[in-house]
């Protein structure tokens, strides 16, 4: 019997969600472990397997047989080798390099601005918050140019789209929304929401936020369950 693929994630883990969507796209069954989390203590206490495997003590962490790895991009690369079809990187060398750069920019250039905003929710007019929103808007401008004339960021749907969609979801929540001029990105975001894999992963996240009384970006309202009849 094949070893299960166990993925440790969290209810509001942007990086864990990336790995979950990629697995769903590839038809990989996951033994999904949602580690303890609440809005006050966050991920404390840490899950012992996460502490043991990841020196950063962060999700996602993956165990598959004798393999134990961490980091959403490394986990994705493993999925790509484990289940090459459908590919989530372009097949040509140049396009694949460009897609990997897009994914990296989303994680390392864009998302740090959103992390900065997470700590400035009570002081949105602080100079650091203003600078972070401006940096996010400039990133959106670049991605708007990237998406021009095509449905997805790197041509065909792939991991670059998964990465930026999840990061931008958090950007929208933290006060760095797309603006009226980002019409291409808004259409792209709706295409992303139409994918079953994305809805499968984002819907529980929306339910968690709603259960905590947290405000949802308008573009996620379609994922909320209908109100119960009285």
Rounded CA separation 175/172 (Å): 6
Q: What percent of the chain has pLDDT over 90?
A: 87
Domains in the chain, CATH or no CATH each: 5-82 (3.40.30.10), 93-219 (1.20.1050.10)
Q: What is the mean pLDDT of residues 187-213?
A: 95
Instruction: Judge whether residue 2 has pLDDT over 90.
Output: no
Instruction: Judge whether residue 212 has pLDDT over 60.
Output: yes
Per-residue exposure over 158-167, b if at least 16 CB sit within 10 Å of its own CB, e if not: bbbbbbbbbb
| pLDDT level of residue 229 (50, 70, 90 thresholds) | low
Instruction: Judge whether residue 230 has pLDDT over 70.
Output: no
Describe the crossing of helices 196-211 and 159-173 by its angle, rounded to 10 degrees: 20
> What is the model's pLDDT at position 40?
78
Report phi then psi at 83, rounded to 5: -135, 85
Q: What is the mean pLDDT of residues 72-100?
A: 96
Tokens of 90: 């372009």
Instruction: Judge whether residue 228 has pLDDT over 80.
Output: no
Q: What is the mean pLDDT of residues 201-227?
A: 88
Name the one residue in this structure whose structure tokens are 């401006």: 134
Q: What is the mean pLDDT of residues 77-102?
A: 96
Average pLDDT, the chain: 94
Instruction: Judge whether residue 134 has pLDDT over 90.
Output: yes
> What is the model's pLDDT at position 139?
98
| Coil, helix or strand at residue 194 | coil
- The residues, any chain, with a CB within 8 Å of residue 140's CB and separated by 6 or more, are 178, 179, 182, 185
Nearest CA to 158 out of 106, 93, 101, 90 is that of 90
Express each pLDDT in 38-82 by its tens digit.
Answer: 877 778 888 999 999 999 999 999 999 999 999 999 999 999 999
> What is the model's pLDDT at position 42?
77
| pLDDT level of residue 97 (50, 70, 90 thresholds) | very high
Cis check for the bond before 194: say yes or no (omega within 30 of 0): no
CB neighbours of residue 125 within 10 Å:
7
């Amino acid at each position: 019997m094949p070893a299960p693929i166990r993925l440790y994630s969290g209810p509001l883990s942007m990086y864990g969600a990336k790995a979950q969507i990629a697995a769903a796209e590839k038809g990989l069954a996951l033994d999904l472990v949602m580690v303890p989390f609440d809005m006050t203590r966050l991920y404390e206490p840490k899950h012992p397997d996460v502490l043991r495997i990841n020196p950063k003590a962060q999700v996602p962490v993956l165990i598959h047989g004798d393999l134990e790895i961490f980091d959403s991009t490394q986990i994705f690369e493993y999925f790509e080798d484990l289940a090459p079809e459908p590919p989530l990187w372009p097949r040509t060398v140049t396009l694949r390099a460009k897609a990997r750069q897009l994914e990296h920019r989303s994680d390392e250039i864009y998302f740090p601005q959103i992390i900065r905003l997470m700590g400035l929710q009570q002081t949105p007019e602080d100079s650091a918050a203003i600078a972070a929103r401006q940096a996010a808007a400039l990133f959106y401008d670049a991605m708007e140019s990237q998406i021009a004339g095509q449905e997805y960021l790197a041509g065909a749907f792939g991991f670059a789209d998964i990465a930026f969609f999840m990061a931008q979801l958090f950007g929208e929540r933290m006060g760095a929304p797309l603006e009226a001029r980002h019409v291409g990105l808004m259409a792209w975001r709706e295409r992303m929401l139409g994918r079953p894999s994305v809805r499968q992963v984002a819907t529980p996240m929306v339910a968690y936020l709603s259960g905590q009384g947290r405000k949802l970006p308008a573009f996620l309202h379609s994922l909320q369950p209908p109100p119960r009849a009285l």
